[in-house]
Amino acid sequence: MTSTFLHGFATASYQVEGSVDVDGRGSSVWDDLCNREGAIVDGSSGSEATDTYHRYKEDVALIKELGANSHRFSLSWSRIIPLGGADDPVNPLGVQFYNNFIDELIANGIEPMVTLFHWDLPLALQKRYGGWLDKEQATRDFVNYARVCFSHFGDRVKLWITLNEPFCTSILGHSLGVHAPGRSSDRTKSPEGDSATEPWIVGHSLLVAHASAVDLYRREEGEIGISLNGDWCEPWDDSEENIAAAQRAQEFWVSWFADPIYLTGDYPSCMREQLGDRLPTFSKEEKKLVLGSSDFYGMNHYTSNLIKNKSGPAAADDYQGNVEYTTVGPNGNPPALGYQSQCGWLQTAPWGFRKLLVWIYKRYGVPIIVTENGMPVRGEGDLPIEQALNDGPRVDFFKGYLENLELAMKEDGVAVRGYIAWSLLDNFEWAEGYIPRFGVVYVDYTTQKRTPKRSAHFIKQWFEEKQEKEQQ
């Protein structure tokens, strides 16, 4: 990878491509979840999304127009290997699509940053052996898929991300049951699943699969890492118990995956204490494989929360470190947790970004690439387009977060190698359907017309200034 600061936008296959049954693509667990009654808030699916499968040239032109020098996107495993497995055939048309996409980016001077897995597991693998619940088989198939991708695209792609947010696959997919494959102990959500054990098994498989794919890639010339999501966990007040609770919550979020990869080859002790034998154990070989298996820290960050201790034993399905999350501070004030976005989980707190950057860099000491950061303006989808384009709250969001990024770099000495905003386009926001709009570019879903919002111009200017300063 070049030493140039990377800046650009991110998307993910299922959220933008559409064309789910075109040119031999197989189904993924997300196609399946979208068919489940009530799973997606607006009853929609990614079957059309932003039609990027057909409009990728237009999108690349936009990316260029907005001044990006890199673009993060994910490959659809079931487009490349429709049935997913190591013995299943590769789909040449799927490979062709990504070859075209990559060529188009490169022809426009944009470096591809490619995520192998952004949640859309081939459905056949879920049905065959339970997907990520089966560490051996899932690892074998993921490594084979990675090998196919490295061999077809590796001549032009030099920056890879194995997995996007394994936390979400584990917790949202196998405990809360709101993401594919939609498993949970809650029988109103899912006919099967066990929230007390499955997320930890799945998390372990994901770590081993990630590290095994990295091990394979080490023979190539390029860089490879993982993207982990994390909110900043701020203590509710300065009492000792709440300070300890916030630290524990941070470790359950981030260190679950980051400690094994960057620090110890093992899970944080607070997780072992709370989860006991429900948390899998790394074998000696796994430990060796996992420790050091990422060239950078891919950081997806959106929001912050205030954390209070909970007394008494943790619930069997607790995944947060036995704490309470709140946005309301002591005395009923929501201190600096500001603007409430369209998503209930996301309130603007730019200072939390700086704190988390520092926390991560101190603990893990590896360079960070911010691989996602963005915000859906409240009610944007209900506004006439002229008003939606004037997205002041999103401009404020980026302004605040980018200022804090600069402060973390300049004042706190955090090594940051790139900043990738979420997202290029409004798109299919998983269980929340098309209601939240995260794009800096507005998408009219009836015509698929793309129109940059005010925030796109703001970010473009920041990108240009960053590039100018770099060149000085």
Vertex 31, ends 25 and 36: CA angle to 5°? 155
- Rank residues 359 and 422 by Cβ distance to ligand FCB and give the closer one: 422
Element (H, E) at 417: strand 416-422
CB of 399 to ligand FCB, least distance (A): 19
165 flagged as catalytic: yes
Backbone angles phi, psi at 196, to 5 degrees: -80, -25
- Rank residues 419 and 438 by Cβ distance to ligand FCB and give the closer one: 438
- Rank residues 345 and 382 by Cβ distance to ligand FCB and give the closer one: 345
- Rank residues 274 and 423 by Cβ distance to ligand FCB and give the closer one: 423
Chain centre to alpha carbon of residue 380: 23
Tokens 């990630």 — which residue? 210
How far apart are alpha carbons 288 and 283 in whole angstroms? 9
372 flagged as catalytic: yes
β-sheet bridge partners, residue 228: 299
- Rank residues 166 and 265 by Cβ distance to ligand FCB and give the closer one: 166
Annotated catalytic residue, options 104, 111, 372, 432: 372
Task: With beta carbons less than 8 A apart as the criterion, state whether 227 and 165 touch.
Answer: yes
Annotated catalytic residue, options 17, 104, 111, 165: 165
- Rank residues 300 and 455 by Cβ distance to ligand FCB and give the closer one: 300
Tokens 């426009």 — which residue? 108
Neighbours of 37 (CB within 10 A): 6
Helices (H), ranges, 186-311: 198-217, 240-250, 256-258, 269-275, 284-290
CB of 167 to ligand FCB, least distance (A): 9
> In 3D, which of 413, 458, 434 has the Cα closest to residue 49?
434
- Rank residues 72 and 152 by Cβ distance to ligand FCB and give the closer one: 72
What amino acid is encoded at 450 in this protein? R
Task: With beta carbons less than 8 A apart as the criterion, state whether 159 and 1 touch.
Answer: yes
β-sheet bridge partners, residue 299: 228, 370
SS3 337: coil
CB of 373 to ligand FCB, least distance (A): 9
Give the CB-nearest residue to ligand FCB.
12
Task: With beta carbons less than 8 A apart as the criterion, state whether 98 and 75 touch.
Answer: yes
- E strands in 44-141: 70-74, 111-117
Q: Which residues bind ligand FCB (CB under 6 A)?
A: 12, 15, 164-165, 168, 229, 300, 372, 422, 429-430, 438
CB of 235 to ligand FCB, least distance (A): 24
Backbone angles phi, psi at 347, to 5 degrees: -120, 145
Active site residues: 165, 372
